[in-house]
Structure 1
Amino acid sequence: MQVRIEIRPTTRASGGHALSPAETVVALAALVHRFSDHDLSVQGRRSGDPLFPAPLLVDADLMACSLGESLARAGRRPREGGAADVTVTVDTAAGNGSEAVVELAEHLAADGLDGAVAGAVQHFVDEIARLPHVPLRSIGTVAPHEEEELVGLSGDQWDGSTSLPLVHQLVERQALLRPDSLAVSDGRRELTYAELQSAAARASQRLRAAGVEPGSLVALMTERSIDAIVALLAVAMAGAASVPLDPSYPAARLRIMLDDPRIAAVVHSGELVVSAPAGAAVLPLAELTDRGAPGSAPWQGDAGQAEQPQDALFAVVFTSGSTGVPKGVEITHRGVARLVTDEQCTGFTADDVMLQYAPLTFDACFLEIWGALASGARLELAPQGPLGLGELAEVIEERGVTVLWLTSGLFHQIAEYEADCLRGVRRLFVGGDVVSPQHVDRVARMWPHVELVNGYGPTENTTFTCFHRINHDGPPGLGPSVPIGRPVARTRVHVLDRYGQLVPAGVPGELWVSGEGLARGYALRPDLTAERFVTPQEGPLRGVRMYRTGDRVRFLAGGAMEFLGRTDLQVKVNGFRIELPEIESALLGCTGVRQACVIVEQDAVGEKCLASYVVAEDADGRLGLELRRALRAQLPHYMVPTRYTVLEELPLTHNGKVDRARLATTTTNKG
């Protein structure tokens, strides 16, 4: 790709002269580096003659230099690795500025990059000339008028003095408005809002009697059930936060999750497979929610409920960790309330029937449970355990579900094989991974009354950060991807380059999120919290607490946001967020494994699956079965690879890293 750029003469504030051709090349190369997120090898020429003794390597080290310091690096020998990725030819006519031709290697020729470079170069060059002693990475690429545009795209302003109710207060409000309306049902048993509130109030009293105090944690080791909903509400009413745990997790993993001194009680619905923390009460779920227990009291409004600040902790939800240790994300009441009260995003009504199918350990259940109960809708619980596709379709139809949340993979299967079950659905949330436009189009054409909502967001910003409502007034007319849309209420989104500077609309960058959905951080992990939850000390976002998502996105022309991929080794499979290094670490701990790499591939029906590639100590055809058995004892089921391939060696890139792209083409010894 070739970009021809005109650069007006610019005057350096301290030196009083325009940039030289060599300095112009440095400025252009730095801009392409930031917009493409690639390290570059640059050859600069003026009228065909080289400007540098050797190609200039544009990387993080160079960006830490000022303009003058960067020129001193131009004579150094670059790293090994082929021809230049960028060639800049500069022609200068005295007094008339410069005309530069930027030639990009094919793998850098991204949509819109040429226009973005041409549009931003003059402001960037002016800033470099004005600030010649400032590191290149600290110089902004966005002009003031573009900053105003980005502020408009980043999300609505809100009055920070306007508080949100606590989650259990939202449910209590519905109990006062419609006490006799059905709140929750499992197909056999049901509770009205008044009955739910009364049961939760009594359970809350029992939690307090067992030693649960405001600020405590209560581990809930149970599957979805009406009693589990009562317990979740009771924990919140007691001023504590729930820690949902899957009873099927390996005991070693559960012990890690229970290793928190704040846990005051463990509530379980079956056999307790691990010991409770010292000093914590152990309460069977049936006993906690026993409606006929002696000494129980009826619900009396908010009597006895603990006083809590708006940013009180609501839940600790564990996600995969890159170091091999799961991370507990500390979700606040404010984060959940800001989601379920956003009518543009969730849009629940008191007439709706919401299906609760997500595991309680998955933050999607916040939308299902509290979105329904905060709106006066009826929450229908799916049967426990995973359901077959036909079974799920039957539940959707037989229970009269009108609002539904499906992971992307499950949505694709429903759209392909069981789309008839959506005839009664009014609103369908899809998320957890990239959504197929083809399946969206299929459902939209088959059931044009269904409003599809593509929801995006990390757990660290409470379920949804952005949402995109797809228009069904006609064929969706979607492009190659479904946008992730615009931010949820009280949420702001910012697209930054690798140096924390804003990039213009249309340019890819990392998504940073701010607002009231942000988690407190990671439980008992101040180091990791400081790494991911940051507050810039300079630039247009200084003083704003934000979460670095690690997702690459860009603003589209209409203002919606498009998801482009990850900047690291985190993936989403079946809605679960997985750190591939955690699985690789577990594989390396297995007998007979010398090297390991895990990637995401497609299965026979086109859905994502985890595939592991290992280098073994000795060739053994049974190694794949042994590894699968070993990982099942260490990792939850969704993190156990379905494919195992034994190789003599792992392919490497020129800089010595595992070449994951080449692994996907390997076919030998599949296990």
Structure 2
Amino acid sequence: MQNISIEGFQISPQQKRLWQLQQAGDRQAYIVKLMIEITGDINLSSLESSIQKVINRYEILRTKFSTIKGMSVPLQVITENNDFQINKIQNYHSKPTIFNLENGSVLDISLTNFFQNKYILIITLSAICGDIISLHNLVQEIFTAYTVKELTNEPIQYADISAWQNELLVGKEAEIGKDYWHKQNIYHLIAGKLPSEQSSTKPLAFNPQAININLSPDLINNLAVLANEDAEKIATLLMSSWQILLSRLTGEIEIAIATCFDGRNYAELKPALGLLAKYIPVSCAFKEDSTFAEIWQQLNTKISEIEQWQDTFSWEDIDSQELFLPFAFDFNSQPHQYLADNITFTVQKQHACIERFKVKLSCWLKDNSLITELHYDANLFSQGDIERLAQQWQTLLSNAVKNPETNVGKLEILSPLERQQLLFEFNQTQSAAPPYQCIHHWFEAQARSTPNNIAVVFEDEKLTYQQLDTKANVVAQKLVSLGVKPETVVALYIERSLELAIGILGILKAGGAYLPLDPSLPPAAVAWRLHDAQVSVLLTQRHFVHLIDQNQVQVLCLDADIQLSNPQLHPVGSKNLAYIIYTSGSTGKPKGVAVEHRHLLNYLNGILEKLNLPISANFATVSTFAADLGNTAIFAALCTGGCLHIISSERATNPQALADYCSRYQIDCLKIVPSHLSALLSSEYAQQILPRQRLILGGEACNWELIELVRKYAPNCQIFNHYGPTETTVGVLTYAVPTNAKSGKVPLGRPLANTQIYLLDKYQQPVPIGVTGEIYIGGDSVARGYLNQPEMTSDRFIQNPFNHTPGARLYKTGDQARYLPDGNLEFVGRVDDQVKLHGFRVELGEITAVLSQHPSVREVVVVLREDNPGQKQLVAYIVTHQQTAIDVHELRSFLKQKLPEYMLPAHFVQLKNLPLTANGKVNRLELPAPDKVRPEIAAAYIPPRNEAERIIAEIWQEVLAVEKVGIYDNFFELGGHSLLIIQLSVKLQQKFNRNISANDIFQNPTINALAKYLSQTDNQQSSSLEQSHERAQMRQNFVKRTAEAQRKQRGKNKTNL
């Protein structure tokens, strides 16, 4: 075999770097270019001859790049001559120059004559052969050759520079330099991302574009004055403002930007041609109280330090999957004009791309002017995104120059127009208030209008509006006789039933405020709430009376005859208390949220406007009434002539029973937590369960897979995503999912009537579109505050700085979101959902969002665990579609394509369903440790003894993902929860052809007990008070085991949608 040899020189480290970047297929992007205006009577032949002389002087202009098999990088091969000819063009807006580095020229020069004695000379050089200073030096050489004719000095050749640069990267001094760069620890700063960046599932070619930024003369003058006319200080001042803006937009407290160093730090190298410049990471850390002046000084010091070590920096030493830094900066102040007796060369425009980036700020100090541009990858950003970014940079720079001692976090970055849009245009929600003082007045008006319409249904029981109004009046009169008046809190300790609606309306009519209490609460928790709310009267049902301390409160049973009385009802106003809802508190004690009538009236007015349902629609509520989640259906139905269907907890967790009910009553509107609905739709009854017209999803984040599932089974049903914390009355944001919407995150939407939303940073300043901020809520739905907790109320309910109306307040939610360009909000996570791991800041919501994109993942939650002291690790809990087994290796590979290494979970735990709190939200405290997918089984293992027990055991093993189950093992101790009960009941019904409810499983929590129950020929359930007591006691025992975890979790997940 014939050996092929190439005579050439080793390429420089910069050339090697650029060659590797070009392998992505975007070679034409990496060029340097100047546009020179030539004024005077030019001799084209002499100009061509002068250029040829310069080409003959400089080997780099006559260089080609050759590789042979087995070589990963080429050699630079210098040709003896390069016959050159100027391209004559009609205009300077020509097609991009594409260089053939292996066989063609690396230099292109074009000329156009657009006026008499005025020409445009365009010089384009492949970036692998030169940088922007190379072109300025080249212009000076051409000008000198044209005007002086003789070029006597011997130039330094790039091949020699290349050999010297390679030597600098080996040896003892190089090791010292590498140690310096290793200590800079910039590796974790490489994967930065601006909020407006578009994501892609596949690698994209580099497509750099640019826009001009027109700085005002006043701003340029102020810059020069502040920097004492020093070009280097002007450069670091501009760089400081750029890094601060990037920090503000990304939320990172440390930013590294690729900064261009010219590589000519020796006098001999100043006139050299060739690629000497390189982009070096310059990091800047922002402290809580850093001022602009301090950051500027920090960068001046950093740049001086890096200049000493720039020759030993190499991208090959960067241990990262990313090939480049996302943010870049360059600055130069090269001479731009060359004068002779009868001719002038003036550099008008310049362009250099010798490094890949996502966004780059490029600055050129040209006499007394400052030319600034934003270069960007058009595959990642739209021009509108970059124009907005440019405006934000100008605003920040202007403020920083005027106020250099200002904290960097407080520097304004919003233009007046963007500020107007965020604060006012996105909050145009003014709407006329309903003509009622209280919520029950609205109901009473409706009862007079439609007295014979069915108002409420529970199982086979129903009441008309007139009947409901009458019964509520009786309760109200009795309560008044017991001392209830405005601001009196009356507790409702009751199961879902007709009495629920009667009790709520009766309390409101009496002037009181209702406090709903879930009967599953432990007695101590009930007693604490009664004491905290100073409850003097409690409404309940007879089978719960024995659970109440009647020395603490007066008890009135709604399912017993109430003696008629006729006291005068008290007048009630819009500012009187309507209800109290307890949510978990960070201190471990729940806090009562006090909501007034006007708040509830405003919410109802806004949500009805969005739902736009016809009169007499059927509403269903399937959630606990101890949270305000169900208030959407309760009051929307009873104030519009609709029918409220109160679904029992047993039916709500039994897909077949719920489907039968929904089919029988033709439910029009259903509000439900997404994870609850997802579990129900996993059954064969999905189509019958879904409502006919409106589905409202809330209480937790909604994934797109659920939207698609609903569309599949109910294509004509309008889907709403609904968000709002209890402190702002049920909900404040609504998003109607468009029928033609494609996959993606489901937005939270826009504010309801008379509600304002502000996304603010830690200084309570508005954040730009796309930037994550904390949600602050203002308007007519903001609750009174927390009961008996003035300090916490003043901390979370603050004065509204954007509304000067007396008493206007904002509620600080602790939730994070970002604005989409159309004004919709997109949920990001909790303020406390941000963790630090090995020095890295990790947004758990980001990992969750990426995992959710995997086709096999149905639901996912990621947490930071510390099961062993000092050993923190990310754990992903995953529910897959159709319960397919997860492939950990495949998941890791999938994540590595989208996330940096430090954001990859250490463990992946597959679950049948995510555990939920009583409010239907993910209970993170019940997520199992990665090495223990279920609790230890207390009971001794006894295998199944007959066919029924064997079938039940197999179903339990499948549902609970347990290898073996004993007949005396408790379902709930094995990890069973409300959503698993749904799956269990479905599978048991399929095997035994029996309607098995959640209540049956509560009563028979072991295989032995359940098999005996199923073997009985008489399936009728006893309705005695003793059995009711046992059922209630069993539920309380179950809840007691997880009550503490639920209380802690509700503080994090108290928003109701």
Same fold (TM over 0.5): yes
Structure 1 residues 521 and 276, CA gap change in structure 2 (3 angstroms) = farther
> Which of 322, 334, 340 lines up with 2:586 in the alignment?
322
Q: 1:546 is matched with which residue?
A: 810
Q: 2:559 is matched with which residue?
A: 286
**1:232-287 deviations in Å (ceiling 9; x for gaps):** 11111122111111111123332332232532212222335765597632223324
Contact 2:490 2:515 in 1 (8 A): yes
**1:190-245 deviations in Å (ceiling 9; x for gaps):** 21111111111110111122222211111111121111211111111122111111
- Structural mapping, 1:219-298, within 5 Å: 219-260=491-532, 262-269=534-541, 270-272=543-545, 276=549, 280-287=553-560, 290=561, 293-296=562-565
Q: 1:17 is matched with which residue?
A: 225
**1:519-551 deviations in Å (ceiling 9; x for gaps):** 112222222222222225589999851112222
Moved more, 319-328 or 267-276: 267-276
Contact 1:90 1:98 in 2 (8 A): no
> Which of 639, 653, 658 lines up with 1:392 in the alignment?
658
Structure 1 residues 272 and 52, CA gap change in structure 2 (3 angstroms) = farther
The 1-side partners of 2:463 and 2:518 are apart by 24
Structure 1 residues 168 and 608, CA gap change in structure 2 (3 angstroms) = same
Structure 1 residues 245 and 514, CA gap change in structure 2 (3 angstroms) = same
**1:44-84 deviations in Å (ceiling 9; x for gaps):** 8564599999843124332xx3x22444555899xxxx999
> Which of 164, 172, 184 lines up with 2:444 in the alignment?
172
Q: 2:131 is matched with which residue?
A: none
The answer to whether the aligner puts 1:408 opposite 2:674 as a matched pair is: yes
- Structural mapping, 1:421-460, within 5 Å: 421-422=688-689, 425-460=692-727
Considering Cα pairs closer than 8 Å and 6+ residues apart, tell me whether 1 or 2 has the greater RCO.
Answer: 1
- Shift in Å, 1:117: 3.3
The answer to whether the aligner puts 1:89 opposite 2:329 as a matched pair is: yes
Structure 1 residues 111 and 377, CA gap change in structure 2 (3 angstroms) = farther
Contact 2:436 2:442 in 1 (8 A): no
Counterpart secondary structure, 2:419: helix
Counterpart secondary structure, 2:660: helix
**How many positions carry a matched residue from both structures?**
607
**1:387-431 deviations in Å (ceiling 9; x for gaps):** 212222222112221111121112323444333215761211122
Structure 1 residues 448 and 202, CA gap change in structure 2 (3 angstroms) = same
Q: 1:131 is matched with which residue?
A: 403
- Shift in Å, 1:467: 1.0
**1:91-150 deviations in Å (ceiling 9; x for gaps):** 14143326477999xxx9999986653341112211222333433323322111112222
One-letter amino acid of the counterpart of residue 410, structure 1: H
- Shift in Å, 1:30: 2.2
The 2-side partners of 1:552 and 1:499 are apart by 15
> Which of 370, 376, 386 lines up with 2:641 in the alignment?
376
The 1-side partners of 2:495 and 2:582 are apart by 16
Q: 2:576 is matched with which residue?
A: 312
The 2-side partners of 1:271 and 1:594 are apart by 47
One-letter amino acid of the counterpart of residue 521, structure 2: Y
The answer to whether the aligner puts 1:34 opposite 2:262 as a matched pair is: no
Structure 1 residues 557 and 2, CA gap change in structure 2 (3 angstroms) = closer
One-letter amino acid of the counterpart of residue 259, structure 1: H
The answer to whether the aligner puts 1:194 opposite 2:466 as a matched pair is: yes
- Shift in Å, 1:354: 0.9
One-letter amino acid of the counterpart of residue 192, structure 1: T
Contact 2:484 2:510 in 1 (8 A): yes
TM-score normalised to the size of structure 1? Answer: 0.78
- Shift in Å, 1:156: 2.7
The answer to whether the aligner puts 1:496 opposite 2:721 as a matched pair is: no
Moved more, 158-167 or 453-462: 158-167
> Which of 472, 475, 486 lines up with 2:750 in the alignment?
486
Counterpart secondary structure, 1:258: helix
One-letter amino acid of the counterpart of residue 780, structure 2: E
Structure 1 residues 250 and 187, CA gap change in structure 2 (3 angstroms) = closer
Counterpart secondary structure, 2:559: helix
- Shift in Å, 1:15: 8.4
Q: 1:56 is matched with which residue?
A: 284
Contact 1:207 1:238 in 2 (8 A): yes
Contact 2:457 2:645 in 1 (8 A): yes
Contact 1:204 1:235 in 2 (8 A): yes
Contact 1:612 1:641 in 2 (8 A): no
Moved more, 234-243 or 135-144: 135-144
Structure 1 residues 215 and 539, CA gap change in structure 2 (3 angstroms) = closer
The answer to whether the aligner puts 1:561 opposite 2:769 as a matched pair is: no
Counterpart secondary structure, 1:513: strand
Structure 1 residues 53 and 41, CA gap change in structure 2 (3 angstroms) = closer
Q: 1:601 is matched with which residue?
A: 877
Tell me how large the CA RMSD over aligned residues is: 4.5
- Shift in Å, 1:446: 3.9
Counterpart secondary structure, 2:625: coil
- Shift in Å, 1:559: 2.8
One-letter amino acid of the counterpart of residue 60, structure 1: E
Counterpart secondary structure, 1:464: coil
The 1-side partners of 2:648 and 2:193 are apart by 58
Contact 2:669 2:691 in 1 (8 A): no
Give unmatched runs, 5+ long, in structure 1. Answer: 298-302, 574-579, 643-671
TM-score normalised to the size of structure 2? Answer: 0.51
Contact 1:41 1:86 in 2 (8 A): no
Contact 2:771 2:819 in 1 (8 A): yes
Structure 1 residues 45 and 318, CA gap change in structure 2 (3 angstroms) = same
Q: 2:623 is matched with which residue?
A: 358
One-letter amino acid of the counterpart of residue 289, structure 2: D
Q: 1:636 is matched with which residue?
A: 1043
Matched-pair identity in %: 22
Contact 1:596 1:613 in 2 (8 A): no
Counterpart secondary structure, 2:479: helix
- Shift in Å, 1:364: 1.5
Q: 2:686 is matched with which residue?
A: 419
One-letter amino acid of the counterpart of residue 461, structure 2: R
- Structural mapping, 1:486-525, within 5 Å: 486-525=750-789
Q: 1:532 is matched with which residue?
A: 796
> Which of 204, 217, 224 lines up with 2:476 in the alignment?
204
Contact 1:86 1:102 in 2 (8 A): no
Structure 1 residues 294 and 464, CA gap change in structure 2 (3 angstroms) = closer
Structure 1 residues 125 and 443, CA gap change in structure 2 (3 angstroms) = same
Contact 2:796 2:812 in 1 (8 A): yes
Counterpart secondary structure, 1:236: helix
Moved more, 622-631 or 268-277: 622-631
One-letter amino acid of the counterpart of residue 317, structure 1: I
Structure 1 residues 203 and 162, CA gap change in structure 2 (3 angstroms) = closer
One-letter amino acid of the counterpart of residue 480, structure 1: G
Structure 1 residues 358 and 630, CA gap change in structure 2 (3 angstroms) = closer
- Shift in Å, 1:352: 0.6
